[in-house]
Amino acid sequence: MASHRRPKQPSRARVTVLTTAAAAAVAFSSQAANAAPSEKPSKDEVKAKVDKLYEEAEQATEKYNGAKEKQEKLQKEISTIQDNVARGQEELNELRDSLGLAAASQYRTGSIDPSVQLFLSADPDDYLDKASTLDQLSSQQVEALKKVQEKQRELAQERAEASEKLKDLASTRTELGKKKKEVQGKLASAQKLLNSLSAAEKAKLAEEQNRASRASERDALTADVPPGSGRAAAAFAFAQSQLGKPYVYGATGMSSYDCSGLTSRAYAAAGVQIPRTSEAQTGAGTKIYSVSQLKVGDLVFFFNDLHHVGLYAGNGQIIHAPRTGTVVRYESMDTIGGPFMFGVRV
């Protein structure tokens, strides 16, 4: 007869663990169900994050501008060197051709003078040393050979210089590409944040910015501040004529600008060439450290790394190209987002 065993009962400890786990799961589910959804960031919070991204994008933009300017300069220098090499090679070929004609003439008479052999040597430097020792050459022949030598040296030096600049150009292009991607990444992140705002919030944000710009313009136009030189006044007048044109990174006009693009174009319109980037523009004149000493048309620089520049408009206001999503406008120096460092009187 088969025996029937009673099933083993779970231990008291195991029952307690299972019961506790089940209770915790129920409680967690209840809390998750009752938990409030994460709050959407406010308009002001979005604006603060966007402003920070725009500041970082502008920092990268000025580095992009510097790399672009260096690339253009290198391309011009390389082109000039290559032209010089081409002309030098033609001159060297003409010298060699003339020496070859002399050799052919002597060959037809049945003998080649040692001096002509020297001209045709594969190593003119070595042959010249030997020939000078043997006093085989006339002073005129020595001068002719020296011209060949000098031209060969010039060409070798220019080719080496071109090679180094081509390497520098390649690395500059790489840096340019990196900075461009960095700018685009920051701007894309900022746009994503702005897209999270409602249409009403976007409209309110735009109105706040427009109101602040109108107030700054009013304060600037009513200020009793003397203009700088005639050229500074002309640069400022140009900047005024560009009010309302959009900010675009890397742009120098006439349809759009970035910050240093506006200031460099404004002074170019006044007949003064200043550097392209904000950092380089700090060396364009005399530094002014007190706001009270600034004159209309002076360059004004902000942030510790000097990545933003505008033109002083008087009464603590400037005209500048602020950042992506804005236009050339008046703005109070107090609302730039970074400290005023100094002005420069060009």
- In this prediction, residue 88 carries a pLDDT of 87
According to the model, what pLDDT value does residue 2 have? 47
**pLDDT tier at 218, thresholds 50, 70, 90:** confident
4 is a catalytic site residue: no
For the entire predicted model, the pTM comes to 0.69
**CATH T-level assignment (fold) for domain 224-345:** endopeptidase fold (from Nostoc punctiforme) (3.90.1720)
DSSP string, 104-117: HHHHHTT---HHHH
DSSP sequence for 187-245: HHHHHHHHHTS-HHHHHHHHHHHHHHHHHHHHHHHT----B-SHHHHHHHHHHHHTTTP
pLDDT of residue 130: 53
133-145: average pLDDT:
58
Q: DSSP E strands: which ranges in the chain?
A: 286-288, 299-302, 308-314, 317-320, 329-332, 340-345
Confidence of residue 220 (pLDDT cuts 50, 70, 90): confident
Is 307 tagged catalytic? no
Which of 259, 269, 306, 336 is catalytic? The answer is: 259
Return the SS3 of 260.
Answer: helix
pLDDT tens digits, residue range 143-162? 767 777 788 888 889 999 99
The active-site residue, picked from 68, 307, 308, 345, is 308
* Set 320, 323, 329, 345: catalytic member: 320
Q: Mind listing the pLDDT tens digit for each residue in 318-338?
A: 999 999 889 999 999 999 989
Q: How do the domains of the chain map onto residue ranges?
A: 43-194, 224-345
- The verdict on whether 245 is a catalytic residue reads no
State the Cα–Cα distance between residues 244 and 327, nearest whole angstrom.
Answer: 5
Q: Do domains 43-194 and 224-345 have the same CATH topology?
A: no
**Over 70: is that where the pLDDT of 118 sits?**
no
Q: Above 60 in pLDDT, residue 185? A: yes
Mean per-residue pLDDT over the chain, rounded = 82
Find the mean pLDDT for residues 133-140.
Answer: 52
User: Under CATH, which number does the domain 43-194 receive?
Assistant: 1.10.287.1490
Q: How confident is the model at residue 252 (pLDDT cuts 50, 70, 90)?
A: very high
